[in-house]
Amino acid sequence: MVFVILFFAFVGFALFSALLLSAFYRQNLYDRVKRMLEAEEKLKELSKKYQELQVKVEKLSYALGEGAQGPKVEGGFPSLPIFVEDCDVPCALPASGPIVRGVDKGIHTGLDISVPESTFVFSTARGIVKKVGYNEDLGIFIRISHDKGYETVYGHLSKAFVKEGDTVKTGQLIGLSGRTGKTTGPHIHYEVLKDGKHIDPVLTLP
């Protein structure tokens, strides 16, 4: 009699253990499937974002044209101007590079910044594009009007990405450097005017 009781107790315990293990396995399997489905959804989102990014890259490449140069990293620092704040008056340089010529009153009205051709050129303050044009000296140029009587001029460009009347932000990409106009090599000619008079752009830097 005791043997029969022990036998059924063992069988019952075995069945209970099997049911418990089966339930645990089913829950574990459910959790694994749930995580797989969540991972699949995240992968779909990432794939969609990647495709959108690819489209943006293609559009930017088309806009910049063949041979355009984006940000470079030299010595661990980006070769682009760093805009620490949004300025209503000029507060930076339009690109990073050695200044090969400064202001010479009555002879040279701005800074010449040596950069490779097709380097990004940025607005140095928020404002409104006053003129986009071409002349014999500056080649393709952009003139932007800012607050408090300030204006900036960007010359010797190869491309302009803004048009007259556009509102621009500090650090906005407005064109590419080039060698149009009177120049012996690719660089950016950058001018700052206050109330119609040229001033040294270095004086506007923070």
User: Closest Cα partner for 158 from 67, 91, 50?
Assistant: 67
For residues 51 and 126, membership in a common domain is answered with no
**Claim to verify: residue 134 and residue 193 sit in the same structural domain:** yes
Tell whether 34 and 84 lie within a shared domain: no
Query: How many angstroms separate the CA atoms of 53 and 59, rounded?
Result: 10
What local confidence, expressed as pLDDT, does residue 184 receive? Answer: 85
Q: What is the DSSP string of 112-165?
A: EEE--TTBEEE-SS-EEEEEEEEETTTEEEEEEE-GGGEEEEEEEEEEE---TT
User: Are 46 and 92 part of one and the same domain?
Assistant: no
- Domain CATH for 93: 2.70.70.10
Domain span at 148: 73-204
pLDDT block averages, 10 residues each, the chain of length 206: 50 52 58 70 69 59 47 37 72 89 85 92 95 96 97 97 94 93 92 95 86
Number of domains in the chain: 2
Please tell me the predicted confidence (pLDDT) of residue 159: 95
Helix (H) or strand (E) holding 5: helix 2-64
* Same-domain check for residues 50 and 114: no
Q: What is the pLDDT of residue 193?
A: 96
Say if pTM beats, i.e. exceeds, 0.85.
no
Same domain, 105 and 190: yes
Note whether 54 and 96 are same-domain residues: no
Same domain, 183 and 88: yes
The residue out of 64, 90, 118 marking a domain boundary is 64
Specify the pLDDT at position 192: 96
pLDDT number for residue 106? 76
Rounded to whole angstroms, how far apart are CA atoms 168 and 147? Answer: 12
Q: What is the rounded distance in angstroms from the CA atom of residue 178 to the CA atom of residue 175?
A: 10
49 plus 92 within the same structural domain: no
Predicted pLDDT of residue 69: 46
Domain boundary among 46, 64, 82: 64
Q: Answer yes or no: do 13 and 58 share one domain.
A: yes
Print the SS3 string covering 7-57.
HHHHHHHHHHHHHHHHHHHHHHHHHHHHHHHHHHHHHHHHHHHHHHHHHHH
C-alpha distances in Å from residue 43, one per residue of 30, 54, 57, 148, 151? 20, 16, 21, 50, 48
Tell me, yes or no, whether 52 and 105 share the same domain.
no
Within this chain, do residues 101 and 173 fall inside the same structural domain, yes or no? yes
Q: Which residue, of 10, 35, 64, is where some domain finishes?
A: 64
